[in-house]
Amino acid sequence: MMSAVRDATVPAPQADGPLAIIAGGGAIPIAVAQAVERSGRRVVIFPVRGWADPAAVAPYPHHWIAVAQAGRFQRLAKQEGCRDVVFIGTAVRPPLSSIRVDWGTLRLLPAIARAYRGGDDHLLSGIVRLFEEQGGFRVIGAHEVAPEILMPQGPIGSRQPSEQDRADIARALALLEATGPFDMGQAAVVADNHVLALEATEGTDSMLRRVAELRAQGRIAAPAGVGVLVKAPKPQQDRRFDLPAIGPRTVEEAARAGLAGIAVVAGAALIAEPAAAAAAADRAKIFVVGVTARARS
- For a second copy, the binding residues (CB under 8 A) are 92-98, 116-119, 171, 174-175, 178-179, 181-184, 189, 192-198, 200-202, 210, 214, 217-221, 223
**CB nearer to a second copy: pick between 94 and 104:** 94
Query: Angle 87-88-91 (CA atoms, 0-180°, nearest 5)?
Result: 100
**CB nearer to a second copy: pick between 79 and 193:** 193
Beta strands in the chain (DSSP E): 19-23, 43-47, 84-88, 138-139, 154-156, 187-191, 194-198, 228-231, 245-246, 261-265, 270-271, 287-291
**CB nearer to a second copy: pick between 25 and 157:** 25
CA terminus-to-terminus distance, the chain: 53
- Cβ 250 vs Cβ 220: under 8 Å: no
Q: Which of 49, 57, 51 is nearest to 30 (CA)?
A: 57
What SS3 state is found at 103? helix
CB of 155: closest distance to a second copy in angstroms? Answer: 26
CB of 274: closest distance to a second copy in angstroms? Answer: 29
Torsion of CA 236, 99, 84, 248, to 10 degrees: -70
CB of 178: closest distance to a second copy in angstroms? Answer: 5
CB of 190: closest distance to a second copy in angstroms? Answer: 9
**CB nearer to a second copy: pick between 26 and 248:** 26
Please list, in sequence order, all residues whose beta carbon lies within 8 angstroms of the beta carbon of residue 278, skipping any fewer than 6 positions away. 156, 157, 288
Output the CA torsion sign for 265, 268, 270, 271: positive
Side chain identity, residue 183:
D
CB of 101: closest distance to a second copy in angstroms? Answer: 15
Length of the chain in terms of residues written: 297
**CB nearer to a second copy: pick between 173 and 246:** 173
Maximum distance among all Cα pairs of the chain, rounded to whole angstroms: 75
CB of 76: closest distance to a second copy in angstroms? Answer: 26
CB of 175: closest distance to a second copy in angstroms? Answer: 5
DSSP secondary structure of 79-94: HTT--EEEEESB----
**CB nearer to a second copy: pick between 13 and 110:** 110
**CB nearer to a second copy: pick between 106 and 200:** 200
